[in-house]
Amino acid sequence: MRIWLPAVALLALTVVSEVARSDESKVPLSEVPKAGLEAVNAMFPDAAIGDAAKETEDGKTVYEVSLKQNGRNIDVTIGADGKIQLVEKEIADKDLPTAVRRTLEAKYPKATYKIIEEVKSIKNDKSTLDFFETLLVTASKEIVEVQITPDGKIKNEEKKQAEKD
């Protein structure tokens, strides 16, 4: 009984912290608004659709559909009305604008990039590049998520847990 109690407590703590962190839950593609899936297929005809999740953001239900295209990940957020709201597309570091690269290199010299995404909002069927989001590991092994505007201004930084050697 002594062995099981800590394990159950740890499991309960993990579940509670996961629920507190996000109310995102995986859903079958059949639950995603049909118009949204059609829009995703039209926008990314060569991409393979993976899975979908449903969550509440600012009191509104949204769906996130994960895709894979040319070896890169793409996440598309769709509203309950079936309209695409946001596209997060993984890109290579060489595709970062010069201003973004310079800012990141100055602030985080010798960092390695784990993930780089361009984040575009979609409003009235018009796509606007909002920012780039990078997950990087600093020279001192800190993991940092950085949101940075196309002109090189840091919008947000969030330190994650340190990377183990």
Tokens of 162: 């340190």
Q: Are 118 and 110 in contact (CB under 8 A)?
A: no
Structural domains in the chain, sorted by start: 23-87 (3.10.450.360), 91-165 (3.10.450)
As a dihedral over the C-alpha atoms of residue 6, residue 11, residue 17, residue 20, rounded to 10 degrees, the angle is -130
Concatenated DSSP letters of the chain: -TTHHHHHHHHHHHHHHHHHH---EEE-GGGS-HHHHHHHHHH-TTPEEEEEEEEEETTEEEEEEEEEETTEEEEEEEETTS-EEEEEEE--GGGS-HHHHHHHHHHSTT-EEEEEEEEEEEETTEEEEEEEEEEEE-TTS-EEEEEE-TTS-EEEEEE-PPPP-
**What pLDDT does residue 22 have?**
54
**What pLDDT does residue 54 have?**
96
**What pLDDT does residue 154 have?**
97
Distance CA(64)–CA(75), nearest Å, equals: 6
Tokens of 6: 């800590």
pLDDT along the chain (165 residues), means of 10: 38 37 82 95 95 93 96 96 96 95 96 96 93 95 96 95 58
61: nearest Cα among 89, 88, 21, 25: 25
Per DSSP, what are the bridge partners of residue 36? none
pTM comes to 0.80
Distance CA(159)–CA(113), nearest Å, equals: 14
Distance CA(32)–CA(70), nearest Å, equals: 24
**What pLDDT does residue 58 have?**
87
